[in-house]
Structure 1
Amino acid sequence: MTAVVLPPLDFAEAPLSPGERMANVVLVVLLHAFLAYGMLYLSVKNELIALPQSISARLLPMIEEKPEPAKPLPPPKSPPRKQPVAQPQPVLAVASPAVTSSFAVAPQPPAPPPQPVVAAPPAPLAVVAARFDADYLHNPKPVYPALSRRMNEEGKVLLKVRVSAQGTALDVAISKSSGFPRLDAAAVDAVGRWRFVPARRGDEAVDSSVIVPITFAFE
């Protein structure tokens, strides 16, 4: 009889691959979750209260209320008899002697003297502004500077003129420049010699200020 010699077995475990390790971890987690769910289910099932399978209800017949019989009205009472009223005995009035009364009126204080009536102050009269455009004034136009013509300088000057009660220019100032000093100077020089219609408050001539526009433009 021939003996068969088997090779020795190697019981050393082979290393697990990453996929097998992940599968083992998932399997362990699922087993723990299943055990926890089973324990929770058993604990809840023991605490449940068995409810009756059906509830029966029975309607009771309605009881009709019988109206109570009306009570008879009591007989009307007869009005009480009036007792005779005793007539009052006449009383004699005795006239008492007349009593005279006297009273004195306290003297009144003297009336205050009449207060003088103060007339309301008259409303202030409106001021009529001074004028510079009247034809009879014969105010000459400003002279256009020759250099400004050659340089094609144009513009508008606004002059603030203080006019006296006699109609003369007390002061001439540039309110808005034309942008060219030669044009501004020509306007100030011309308007400084102008005559004006003075401003008036009622019939009185007063000093005032007026804005005079001067335009330099090629015709």
Structure 2
Amino acid sequence: MPRFLQCFFLVLAAHVGLGWLLHDLREEPGMAVQVPQPVMILLLGPEPAAAAAPSPPSPARPPARPATRTPPPEPKPQLVSKPRPEPAKPLVRTEPVSPKPRPASKPQQVAAASTATSDSKAPAASATTAAAQPAVTEVFSREPSFLTPPRPPVYPAQARRRNQQGQVLVEVRLDAKGLLREIRLLRSSGVESLDRSALDAVAAWRFRPETHNGQPVPSRVHIPIEFALSASR
């Protein structure tokens, strides 16, 4: 039986016995009753667990022995074979051979050779003349030449309301067929809407190719375009 139950029953028995004595004393008056002193009961707690036995000290490790290095084996001397002397080459003496005299060519063969030489020089001279003439890459035209009449540029409405005027200078570069290769704004009018209207108009124009020595060649031309309100009204 657990210890705390034993203590509980002892306290209960003591209280029962004390109550019984008091009851008897009340029934017999005049008798002095000695009240027993209360019994003090101490409840002992559970015994502390035995201290854990200290673990035995771990045996000390023996010091590591230093590793002994074995010296590398000494290299054995290698036998070097001496090169054998090459036998001396015999000197060969070459004697100069005198050229044999060629027979004189016949007059007919000389005439034929001269004729062939003159014929071969003719196309070479024409090729040299053609190469001497520089190839025409591009010519500058003072005025543009059109296949169809060019349509004038549209005067922007905003520029008209603001009374904005100016001149635009456009450079046009054409190929040998008269087709547009490049359109560039050389000088602005100071108004962006006027410049854009001029470039759009030139891009829609159809030009005639420029010729040089009877042959069509690439060309470039400068075209001034004037925006003036007095002229348009």
TM-score bracket, shorter-length normalisation:
0.3 to 0.5
Query: TM-score, normalised to structure 2's length?
Result: 0.40
Query: TM-score, normalised to structure 1's length?
Result: 0.43
Question: Normalized per residue, which structure has more helix?
Answer: 2
